[in-house]
Structure formats: C-alpha cells, structure tokens
C-alpha cells in the first residue's frame, strides 16, 4: 500500500495537529520526512511533503496549530525555519534536554484496567522515549480519562531523584523520566470533579 494514500486530507486544527504528531513524533517516513538528530525538520519541507501526500498544511496553518495547542506539543525554532515535537517521540531523537531537579511530587493519569500491571511493574515508557509526568492533576486526569476509568497516580519524584533517577522537563512543561518503579507510586483518591 502506498504511504501517500494512507494519509487523509486535514480539515481542521485538530486534524492538522494529529497529522503533525504522527509525522513529527512517530512516522516521519509516512511522507518522506527525515528528522535531524534533535527531531527538527524544515517547516517548508513539512508543508511540501504533506502536500505531496495529499495533506493540506500551510505555514500559516502550522503556526496556528503551534499557537493554539493547549498542550504545546510543538516548537518552532527561534529563526522560524524549523519545527519539532516537544516530546512523545517513538522515533529516535535527542531533544537535548538537560537533567533537572523535579518538584517533590508529580502525577500521572491512567486507566483502571492498567493499574494491576503498574502496581507490579511500575510505569514504563513502552514505545516512547520517556514516561510523561505532570505537576498538574487536571492535565493528568484529562490524559488518564482518554483511556478509560481514571486512576490518578502520585509519584514521589523527590525520593526518585535522591535515589539517582534522572528527570527532564520538555519545552511544554511535561516532566520526563525513563521509568517509575512501583515503589515510588501511590494511588490517589479521586476528587468529585475527577470521578
């Protein structure tokens, strides 16, 4: 099957954002993109290769997606010539993030059906480069609810860091780490707004 035929035309900011996430985080080869070692690609190349694959992206639409994204999934370089995803890659990139001291507590939302495995094995990055954590329980709730009945996990990031685990923070304030062993996790009771 031709990869160019797999891509469907984008018609909204949401659709454009999903398409950009696909090609900038997971499958740049779908439209023939080659990300550099840090995940950057020329903006005009993204637009041109998307068009040749039947996707309607313009530089203006890409800018709108970047500015409108409440999660700030993408970054445009200071010179305005390149774009990359801020985190969440399943392809090999080095975002060049320096190690950071995390806040004492971080949060992760997930679905109840995953809880038993998480309590045994901890949080693993799976196909991604890192486990994603947040300081914001509302963000964690929104992420977890996408996958089913919400379970909110509290991570003892201060103890993890003291024990030698390394943390990074992406440009859009997502905390990243290689994994979270089960001993650092605690299931939190849900608030009325989360239940």
- Written as one string, the DSSP assignment of 113-150 is GGHHHHHHH-EE-TTSSSEEEBS-HHHHHHHHHTTSSE
Condensed to tens digits (0 to 9), the pLDDT of residues 9-30 reads 445 888 888 899 999 988 999 9
Cα–Cα distance for residue pair 78/89, rounded to 1 Å: 21
Domain ranges of the chain: 3-85, 105-188
Tell me the CATH number for domain 105-188. 3.20.170.30
pTM of the predicted protein model:
0.67
pLDDT at res. 8? 46
pLDDT at res. 2? 44
DSSP state of 100: B
pLDDT at res. 193? 62
Condensed to tens digits (0 to 9), the pLDDT of residues 90-141 reads 787 777 889 999 999 999 999 999 999 999 999 988 767 789 899 999 989 9
Domain 3-85 classification at class level: mainly alpha
């Amino acid at each position: 099957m031709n990869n160019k035929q797999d891509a469907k035309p984008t018609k909204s900011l949401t659709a454009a954002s999903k398409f950009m996430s696909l090609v900038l985080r997971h499958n740049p080869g779908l439209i023939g993109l080659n990300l550099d070692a840090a995940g950057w690609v020329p903006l005009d190349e993204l637009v041109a290769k998307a068009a040749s694959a039947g996707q309607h992206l313009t530089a203006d639409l890409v800018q709108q997606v970047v500015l409108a994204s409440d999660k700030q999934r993408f970054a445009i370089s200071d010179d305005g010539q390149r774009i990359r995803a801020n985190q969440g890659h399943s392809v090999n990139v080095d975002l060049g993030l320096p190690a950071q001291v995390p806040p004492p507590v971080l949060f992760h939302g997930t679905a109840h059906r995953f809880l038993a495995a998480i309590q045994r094995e901890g949080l693993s990055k799976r196909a991604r480069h890192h486990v994603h954590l947040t300081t914001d329980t509302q963000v964690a709730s929104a992420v977890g609810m996408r996958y089913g009945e919400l379970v909110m996990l509290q991570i003892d990031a201060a103890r993890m860091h003291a024990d030698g685990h390394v943390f990074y923070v992406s440009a859009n304030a997502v905390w990243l780490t290689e994994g979270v062993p089960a001993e650092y996790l605690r299931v939190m009771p849900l608030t009325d707004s989360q239940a």
